[in-house]
C-alpha cells in the first residue's frame, strides 16, 4: 500500500512521506471523490462485509516486520477500520 516504506530503515511512524498521508489525529485522508469511487468499485466486484475482515488480517500480517509493535498493529488496524467503514457507507449509498 505504501511503496515508499518498502526499502526504508526508518520507523514507519517517523517517515515524513507517511505523515503526509495522515492527519495529526491519525485519521486517513481520503477525498469524497475517491471514497465514492472505492465504494462503487467494491460494489461492482461483489465485495461483502466478511471480505473486509479477511483483507484486514492479511494486511496486518503483510506490513508487520522487525519494527512492528502492538501499538503499530493497533494504529494500522484502526486506520483500516476507518477506511473500510467509509467504503461500506459508500457501497450502501451506491446500491
pLDDT along the chain (95 residues), means of 10: 61 60 57 89 94 93 83 89 93 90
- Predicted model pTM: 0.68
The span from the CA of 35 to the CA of 93, in Å, is 11
52: nearest Cα among 30, 74, 82: 82
pLDDT at 81: 93
**Contact criterion met (CB below 8 Å) for 49 and 36:** no
69-92 confidence digits (pLDDT tens): 888 899 889 889 989 999 999 999
- Please tell me the distance from the alpha carbon of residue 4 to that of residue 12, in angstroms, as a whole number: 10
Strands (E) in the chain, as ranges, are none
Amino acid at each position: 500500500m505504501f511503496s515508499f516504506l518498502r526499502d526504508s530503515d526508518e520507523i514507519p511512524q517517523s517517515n515524513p512521506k507517511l505523515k503526509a498521508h495522515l492527519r495529526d489525529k491519525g485519521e486517513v485522508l481520503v477525498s469524497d471523490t475517491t471514497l465514492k469511487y472505492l465504494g462503487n468499485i467494491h460494489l461492482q466486484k461483489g465485495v461483502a462485509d466478511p471480505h473486509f475482515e479477511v483483507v484486514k488480517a492479511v494486511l496486518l500480517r503483510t506490513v508487520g516486520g522487525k519494527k512492528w509493535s502492538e501499538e503499530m498493529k493497533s494504529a494500522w488496524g484502526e486506520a483500516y477500520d476507518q477506511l473500510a467503514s467509509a467504503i461500506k457507507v459508500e457501497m450502501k449509498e451506491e446500491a
